[in-house]
Copies of this chain bind each other. A is one copy, B any other.
Amino acid sequence: MPNMKLEEALEILERTPRALEAMLAGLSAGWLQCREGEGTWNAPEVVGHLIESEHTNWLPRLVSMLGDGEVKPLPPFDRFAHLSQAERPLETMLEEFRAIRTRNIAAVRELVDPERDFDRTGQHPSFGTVKVRELLSTWAVHDLTHMSQIMRVMAERYREDVGPWSAFLGILRRT
């Protein structure tokens, strides 16, 4: 059963930048540099991906769906683009994320009328037909999945240190 209400999805989108700031700003390098293994992302790289997604994924695709529907395919999104960008301090990235997220939420409020637009569609490069309501729901869950990833990446650092308690710590269960 579809559940999503625009204002509720925006509640998540509004909170993520502040939650990431509260969690990550000022952490020492050990926490910020740790990974789950080669080819996986550390916390600042996850933030970089969230920023890139604001620029080239969610809003441009929403605009395409509202403007062109399925006439044109949705603009492509490179999930690894952030890895080839110049490194910048985490605090700069967190501010950048907050700023663009704020602008994008304002744009969504401006552009989307749930009654009129939720069932409008676009052509996703992998999935075929997708709906505006699905894109907006995914945007919120994408925040949650990446915040959860950051917790998991940082927890990994103490895998050995927790000793026998690892049995009680679901986050250390490898999937």
Binding site for B on A (CB under 8 A): 1-5, 7-9, 11-12, 15-16, 18-19, 21-24, 26-28, 30-31, 124, 126-128, 130-131, 133-135, 137-138, 140-142, 144-145, 147-149, 151-152, 154-155, 157-158, 160-165, 167-173, 175
For A15, A131, A134, A158, the residue with the greatest tally of chain B CB atoms inside 10 Å of its CB is A158
**Minimal Cβ-Cβ distance residue in B for A30:** B8
Can you list 20 residue pairs at the A/B interface with Cβ under 8 Å? A4-B161, A9-B158, A11-B26, A15-B23, A15-B27, A18-B22, A23-B147, A127-B163, A128-B164, A130-B165, A137-B158, A137-B162, A140-B158, A141-B162, A141-B171, A144-B151, A145-B151, A145-B169, A145-B170, A148-B151
Name the distance in Å between A135's Cβ and chain B's nearest Cβ.
Answer: 8
Q: Which of B18, B126, B127, B171 sits near A148, CB closer than 8 Å?
A: B171
For A23, A24, A28, A134, the residue with the greatest tally of chain B CB atoms inside 10 Å of its CB is A23
**Minimal Cβ-Cβ distance residue in B for A14:** B26
**Minimal Cβ-Cβ distance residue in B for A137:** B161
On chain B, the residues within 8 Å of A7 by CB distance are: 28
**Minimal Cβ-Cβ distance residue in B for A135:** B165
